[in-house]
Structure 1
């Protein structure tokens, strides 16, 4: 089989490296707008299966033609609120399956609406398979399977501002998800909440991170998990930046209108406040403000419900750098899909709709990732032990 990797940025590089190290694809085409930098990275990997092509995802004809040369594609081209839907539509037109890391709440339902079209084409699309969404969804699925009646899922995230491997698409996504009214799932229905303002909650993460105050953000998990687990009455996704004081700065920028994408003229140059902020914040990791802040972020997934008629909960925690925690799950998902190791094929799915969480965790553990499962604060297992359980 042949696979196309769209995007060779911070997330894409990790996925490409993982494919080179762990997959048996006969050809891996790496496509990006910056051919020179892509070729440099491919030379570093030294795998003869890797080929480089130019790709511009806004060129529909060219993209469909490139996709027509392969059996499967992955995409890390963001921000996904701009490019995610177009890439999926191109894959359907080309008649190939696709896995992406879409993390934007507003485009995710539009992608899922293409389910019947993908099923008719006989292709499978897995959308949102990174760290969050992605690993979080599958940990929530595992927790739901641990209980007889899953009722609530609470997802907590800590994102390090010190990590220099985020990339501009991540910063655009951050601003997109942290302002305005965003959907969450509460009491069996969708409600709007103030992003990065409402829902303040203090949550403890494993060392060295400790306790953080989290706030609602716009993310896909509250929109997808209730689709596959009808017994759920509440799903939320909350986040803190590290260091936490950045939240006040970002909220202040939004209140001042400095995240506008509308271009203004500055000394003869047209530039939007948002584009400036993304460029500036891309260098923030070098600032003294972030000295001593770890590069790793963290996820925490808590599933609450009933087991044997009694209240019960399962909690999962894991830590990783953003590019590793995002790119590796994407590669694993593509390899599972190529091998036919999915629970259902033909259509568009969030990860929890078609992947076995145990197979996913097993592959993550093979690559050195680990985490903890805690059942009722007493039964604690490392991820590497979970794959041995029936």
Structure 2
């Protein structure tokens, strides 16, 4: 039996490195075609014992090479960015090649464009799982798990996160600025600071209290589309909080050819000033409520965003290869069976996850509950 072929786009980037490490831990035997427009000298693509092949080309300048590599693949994992520029282009190519698709898209406006490809994907028999990273990605699955464990009725989901500024590299910088620019529909440009409703939130240690603001994120769009969530919110921020303010500032830079370069220059200058600071890590809170009943997931730890994003993407890739993603069509991670996701996650993870779950009543924690028990109860009722 031949090995499944997985094309990884943006393979030289940070998030793809986490994906490759995850796939390298899996017991599944894969053939990985790692594509990027350039591979820095000395770059090691760490995918364990998986078969790895490199392909260097510019997917925008050489679209015929993209189509050629996709035609022979079982799955393409798109780790390029920013998604508001590249996402629709690559999904269109996957649909044309009849190749299943996974990405880690975290731009809300790009998500809208990707969802518009649903009819085309169905017609081509293509299943596209979009936003399969940490947030979105793991967050969506956690909401689904909570909904499966809560009473019937309309639900709300509040997602709050923070990441360390040391993880702000490459396309993540313009993405963060873009999240301010598109956070408030109809506002145009980047609104005033107060419009983002800044607040301080206590995350589990070692992260502690951090500043978060309203940002655009795909979960706000996809949860009402694929679940009974009728209200979804997203707030996020960077550590230290000066970088959250900085994201708002660079989002207000005038448009033009030099805008992205200026964003990186400003961010790198600020990062250099904090070079001696010990990274704190990242925090996540997913709070789902139906009436007075709720389930909240809390996490805080030193996992970098390469692994926090790449590892669930690796799990999503395995689930897609196993044919366990509802399709064909364009779907988001909340359609996944949580048991399938956590099983695949164990297969690709290095361990050390710090997620804790609680039942809540009127927004207040009433008891600790194990994720394992929620999965068992979900399996019993499905």
Q: TM-score, normalised by structure 2?
A: 0.87
1:80-136 per-position Cα deviation (integer Å, ceiling 9, x unaligned) = 011011000000011100100011111111111111111111110001110111111
Residue 292 in structure 1 maps to residue 295 in structure 2: no
Q: Per the alignment, in what secondary structure is the counterpart of residue 184 of structure 2?
A: strand
CA drift at 1:150: 4.2
Residue 364 in structure 1 maps to residue 367 in structure 2: no
Say how many residue pairs are matched: 362
Q: 1:360 to 1:387 in 2, by over 3 A?
A: same
| 1:158 paired residue number | 162
Q: Which of 119, 123, 133 is residue 120 of structure 1 equivalent to? A: 123
Residue 304 in structure 1 maps to residue 289 in structure 2: yes
| 2:216 paired residue number | 218
Using the TM superposition, name which of 147-156 and 195-204 deviates more.
195-204
Cα distance in structure 2, aligned partners of 1:139 and 1:283 = 36
CA drift at 1:166: 3.8
Residue 248 in structure 1 maps to residue 249 in structure 2: no
Cα distance in structure 1, aligned partners of 2:67 and 2:75 = 12
Residue 236 in structure 1 maps to residue 233 in structure 2: yes
CA drift at 1:36: 4.9
| 1:380 paired residue number | 368
Q: Per the alignment, in what secondary structure is the counterpart of residue 182 of structure 1?
A: coil
Kept in 1, the 8 Å contact 2:71–2:99? The answer is yes
Cα distance in structure 2, aligned partners of 1:45 and 1:198 = 40
| 1:83 paired residue number | 86
Residue 2 in structure 1 maps to residue 8 in structure 2: no
Cα distance in structure 2, aligned partners of 1:169 and 1:329 = 19
Cα distance in structure 2, aligned partners of 1:137 and 1:283 = 34
Map residues 1-390 of structure 1 onto 2, 5 A cutoff.
1-8=4-11, 9-37=13-41, 40-42=43-45, 45=47, 47=49, 49-58=51-60, 59-148=62-151, 149-161=153-165, 163=166, 165-179=167-181, 181-183=183-185, 194=191, 197-230=195-228, 232-254=229-251, 257=252, 259-263=253-257, 272-282=258-268, 284-288=270-274, 291-294=277-280, 296-306=281-291, 311-319=292-300, 320-342=303-325, 344-353=326-335, 355-365=336-346, 367=349, 368=351, 369-376=353-360, 377-383=365-371, 386-389=374-377, 390=379
Q: TM-score, normalised by structure 1?
A: 0.85
Cα distance in structure 2, aligned partners of 1:143 and 1:194 = 33
Cα distance in structure 2, aligned partners of 1:352 and 1:252 = 33
| 1:268 paired residue number | none
Q: 1:195 to 1:104 in 2, by over 3 A?
A: farther
1:302-351 per-position Cα deviation (integer Å, ceiling 9, x unaligned) = 00113xxxx11110122432111101111110101111223x22111011
CA drift at 1:207: 0.7
Kept in 2, the 8 Å contact 1:5–1:31? The answer is yes
CA drift at 1:212: 2.4
Q: 1:352 to 1:52 in 2, by over 3 A?
A: same
Cα distance in structure 2, aligned partners of 1:151 and 1:45 = 40
Q: Please report the RMSD computed on the Cα atoms of aligned residues, expressed in angstroms.
A: 2.6
Cα distance in structure 1, aligned partners of 2:354 and 2:329 = 31
Q: Which runs of 5+ in 2 are unaligned?
A: none
Q: Per the alignment, in what secondary structure is the counterpart of residue 125 of structure 1?
A: strand
Q: Which runs of 5+ in 1 are unaligned?
A: 185-191, 264-271
Q: Per the alignment, in what secondary structure is the counterpart of residue 106 of structure 1?
A: helix
Kept in 2, the 8 Å contact 1:194–1:216? The answer is no
Cα distance in structure 1, aligned partners of 2:29 and 2:192 = 41
Kept in 2, the 8 Å contact 1:134–1:351? The answer is yes
Kept in 2, the 8 Å contact 1:102–1:129? The answer is yes
CA drift at 1:386: 4.6
